């Protein structure tokens, strides 16, 4: 019996250590503040239509917006409506570029050497092909020359993804959402499609640690009763 209790105690201690070395984040307007867009020509564009590029964008241009803690993501329309030339619009009126819109958080050093979990509740997803959205966690080397990542496609319901990050203090850790599809007119049916995402309750690290310590206290009481 003593050997069994000792083994369980070791497991509880190990569990506490793992919990302390894990962090969980959720949808939060104070964290998801950065926007970035990558774009490239739609396959089959005629010569002279479309282009390639990437740059930081405001969230409203992506499009992504918060109402309280609820995040709504829509297909991009600002390039189509705002420019209206053959760089962004094909002769037949379709979008000339595939847009890769990112709303995310990035820190250097904060989440390194942990198992980072990103959890959220997809309340609704009306995006239809060729549009789609996914959640991601990415761990970039200090000079962004390489990265590891974890992604999951968005479907209605509570979802979580995790990534064991490098212990390199100079790594850049990102988490957020990435939405794909061609630019489109604000009057098109696609412009009204959306993903709506809300946060889920995230336990405090101290609570997780106390749970492990509570297990140890229970095992200790069992051992005392057996003496």
| Segment 203-221, tens digit of pLDDT | 776 544 444 445 444 445 5
Distance (Å, whole) CA 74 – CA 1: 60
CA within 13 Å, CB half, 215:
18
* CATH code of residue 79: 2.60.120
Residue 118 in domain: yes
Predicted local distance difference test score (pLDDT) of residue 2: 53
Q: What local confidence, expressed as pLDDT, does residue 213 receive?
A: 46
| Whole-angstrom distance, CA of residue 174 vs CA of residue 162 | 12
User: For the chain, how many structural domains are there in total?
Assistant: 1
Work out whether strand 22-25 and strand 115-125 pair parallel, antiparallel, or are unpaired: parallel
**pLDDT above 80: residue 162:** yes
| 15 in a structural domain | no
DSSP letter at 95 equals B
Please spell the DSSP secondary structure of 197-210, one letter per residue. EE------HHHHHH
In a domain, 221, yes or no: no
Q: What is the mean pLDDT of residues 117-142?
A: 98
pLDDT at 16: 43
For residues 120 and 67, is the Cβ–Cβ distance under 8 A? no
Mean pLDDT over all residues of the chain?
Answer: 87
Residue 224 is assigned to a structural domain of this protein: no
| d(C-alpha 37, C-alpha 104), whole Å | 11
- CA distance linking residue 174 with residue 97, whole number of Å: 25
pLDDT of res. 225: 54
Residue 69 lies in a domain: yes
Summarised one tens digit per residue, pLDDT across range 14-43 is: 444 444 589 999 999 999 999 999 999 999
pLDDT, position 95: 96
Q: Is residue 31 in a domain?
A: yes
User: Residues 6 or more apart from 187 whose CB is under 8 A from it?
Assistant: none
The residue with tokens 């490098």 is 166
Provide the domain limits for residue 90.
Answer: 25-204
Does the pLDDT value for residue 224 go beyond 80? no
User: How confident is residue 67, by pLDDT bands cut at 50, 70 and 90?
Assistant: very high
């Amino acid at each position: 019996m003593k050997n069994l209790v000792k083994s369980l105690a070791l497991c509880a201690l190990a569990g506490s250590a793992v919990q302390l070395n894990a962090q969980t984040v959720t949808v939060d307007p104070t964290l998801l503040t950065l926007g970035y867009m990558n774009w490239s020509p739609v396959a089959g564009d005629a010569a002279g239509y479309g282009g390639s590029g990437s740059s930081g964008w405001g969230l409203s241009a992506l499009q992504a917006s918060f109402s309280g803690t609820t995040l709504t993501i829509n297909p991009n329309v600002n390039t189509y409506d705002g420019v209206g030339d053959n760089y962004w619009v094909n002769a037949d009126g379709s979008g000339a570029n595939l847009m890769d819109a990112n709303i995310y958080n990035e820190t250097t050093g904060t989440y390194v050497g942990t198992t980072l979990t990103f959890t959220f509740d997809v309340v609704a997803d009306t995006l239809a092909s060729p549009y789609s959205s996914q959640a991601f966690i990415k761990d970039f080397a200090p000079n962004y020359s390489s990265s590891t990542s974890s992604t999951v496609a968005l479907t209605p319901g509570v979802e979580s993804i995790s990534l064991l990050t490098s212990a390199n203090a100079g790594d850049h850790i990102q988490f957020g959402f990435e939405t794909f599809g061609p630019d489109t007119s604000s009057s098109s049916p696609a412009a009204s499609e959306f993903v709506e995402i809300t946060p889920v309750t995230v336990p405090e690290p101290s609570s997780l640690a106390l749970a492990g310590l509570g297990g140890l206290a229970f095992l200790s009481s069992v051992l005392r009763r057996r003496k």
